[in-house]
Amino acid sequence: MNPVTVHYLNIFLGLGAIILQIFAVSALFLLFLRPKENKFLGFIDKHYLNLGFILSLGASLFSLVYSEIINFLPCYLCWYQRIFLFPLVFIFGVAIWHKDRKVVKYTLPLLCVGFIISVYQNFIYYFADTGNLPCDASGVSCYQHLVSEFGGYISIPMLALTIFLALISVVLVAHFYKKED
Residues 6+ apart with CB under 8 A from 177: 31, 41, 42, 44, 45
Segment 73-126, tens digit of pLDDT: 888 888 899 999 999 999 999 999 999 888 998 999 999 999 999 999 888 888
Question: What's the CA gap between 119 and 161, in Å, rounded?
Answer: 7
pTM: predicted TM-score of the whole model, two decimal places: 0.89
Pick from 6-10, 46-50, 130-134, 165-169: least confident = 130-134
